[in-house]
Amino acid sequence: MLNQLKKGFALHFQQPAYLWVVVKNFLWVMLFYSLFRIGFYAYNTPLFPDMTWGKFFTILGGGLRFDLTALIYINLAYIIFTLLPHPWRHRKGYTQFWKWWFFLTNGLMMLLNAYDIIFYPFSLRRTTASIFKEFENETNLFGIFIEGLLDHWWLVLIVGLFF
């Protein structure tokens, strides 16, 4: 077992491709989040009458920092199990599982981020975990979510195109 771990560490440092894949995936997702932030503003422009280009670029820069932190939290398992040197890392089933894990978790988060674009005019704040408190007496929260997605099918199409 110790020899397998040594071999795994040796392969890890000989092949930096795993690190490059993680970095590349993160850069793509951060680009998509930035595009959704621009789309958020474009869709909700009338709600921000005092916006200037300087303020907008400041928001975009702060958004990048927020997105990076959020992506690390969302993808912590993916990062650890993809970059951790061990003998199973080179098995096709293992890499496929983490590939799909990355796409599904980030796809869901992207969909929720996109939903925020259409939800903001109703609440005048970004969606957070407080939405569950806000709708605690609502018995059909999932139905409302699905109805919002069906009414704004074009948004689901955009998220699908990104992935």
The DSSP annotation for 82-139 comes to HHS--GGGG-HHHHHHHHHHHHHHHHHHHHHHHHHHHHHHHHSS---TTHHHHTTT-S
pLDDT band at 9 (very low <50, low <70, confident <90, very high): low
- Higher-confidence residue of 51 and 13: namely 51
Model confidence pLDDT, tens digit, residues 42-96: 999 999 999 999 999 999 999 999 999 999 999 999 998 888 877 777 788 988 9
pLDDT score recorded for residue 2: 56
Q: Is the pLDDT of residue 33 over 80?
A: yes
* Higher local confidence (pLDDT), 145 or 55: 55
Q: Which positions ≥6 away from 42 have C-beta within 8 Å?
A: none
User: What's the pTM value of the predicted model, to 2 decimals?
Assistant: 0.75
Measured over the CA atoms of residue 118, residue 123, residue 124 and residue 125, the dihedral's sign is negative
Residue 4's pLDDT band (boundaries 50, 70, 90)? low
Alpha carbons 73 and 149: distance in angstroms, whole number: 26
Q: What is the pLDDT of residue 7?
A: 58
- pLDDT tens-place string over residues 92-114: 898 899 999 999 999 888 888 88
